[in-house]
Structure 1
Amino acid sequence: MRRSLAKAISWRITGSVDTFVVGWLFTQNIPTATAISVIEFASKILLYYLHEKTWEKIAWGKKENTESHTRSFVKAFSWRIVGTLDTMIISFFLTKKLIWALQIGTVEFFSKIFLYYLHERIWQYLSYKRLKSQKKEGFTSKV
């Protein structure tokens, strides 16, 4: 649970920065971009945590103490669908402009797939390093 929560928080920080930048690019309004980011921070922490817990139950693409690149990509894509819908709904609610909501969601769809994939690979690397360190010390625990 701690690992999933830490991943959720680290991803939300990364995602919120991206949301702010993309929101500002389209609205040219810092308070609106900030509001979108803050609301998403809260909604997506819960959504991401649920997404991660769901993927923990899926064995496909898992290897011993790691996961395949394909699994990371599919997780990124499935999360992005959920995230894009959330982004569009929040953006529309705050701006009342469907075109901005669609534009923000479309740009984020692509930027966040890339960012999420990198995030997954970094977490896999950290898990691998932790496991390798524990084996050197003569004990292992679930990573």
Structure 2
Amino acid sequence: MVHSLLERTKNMPTYRKESHIRSILKGVSWRIVATTDTIAVVLLVTCLNGSCSLENAIKIGALEFVIKFLVYYLHERVWQNILQNKTVDKKQTLHKTISWRIIATTMTFVISGTILETFDEIAMFIALTELFTKFVLYYLHERLWLKLPLGKVRQFFLGKKN
């Protein structure tokens, strides 16, 4: 049993402190995925309600991109300190995903309600739909970024070689 546990943890990535550049690029990649999802969710919910508006979907997506990018970066840096030098298993990724979803879904509700000028069931449906779609997307995004080797981003952008 101990040998089996050691074998499993040996293959898990160890979380080491990421550079600020990597956190920024990770934030940009996440916001592209998340904003695309937000626009699609807003269109779906508003169209099902009979008040379809691409303009509102883009406004909500754009405002979220800017605001959530900054909050995402801070969230990343906090988790850098929590997970530093620990073996990151799926449970830690799940905890990080849950913490982000609480923050981000609350922000989606507020931003949607503000743009739509009403905090009614439409803003709630947007936030709740996004809760599920983004939970899966964020988790997968996190696991993918754990597989990308540290330092490669810095080498690429600064032209450094090993």
Instruction: Give the alignment's Cα RMSD to 1 decimal.
Output: 2.0
What is the TM-score normalised by the length of structure 2?
Answer: 0.74
Q: Deviations over 1:97-122 (max 9, x none)?
A: 31111000001111101000000111
Q: Which amino acid aligns with 2:125?
A: Q
Of the three residues 34, 37, 43, the one matched with 1:18 is 37
Of the three residues 81, 92, 95, the one matched with 2:113 is 92
TM superposition shift of 1:59: 3.4
| Distance across 2 between alignment mates of 1:120 and 1:73 | 9
What is the TM-score normalised by the length of structure 1?
Answer: 0.84
Does residue 115 of the first structure (1) align with residue 134 of the second (2)? no
> Hey, what does 1:106 align to over in structure 2?
128
Unaligned runs of 5+ in 2: 1-19, 47-51, 153-160
TM superposition shift of 1:69: 1.0
- Structure with more contact order per residue of length (Cα contacts < 8 Å, sep ≥ 6): 2
Does residue 78 of the first structure (1) align with residue 99 of the second (2)? yes
Q: Which protein has the larger Cα radius of gyration, Structure 1 or Structure 2?
A: 2
> Hey, what does 1:31 align to over in structure 2?
55
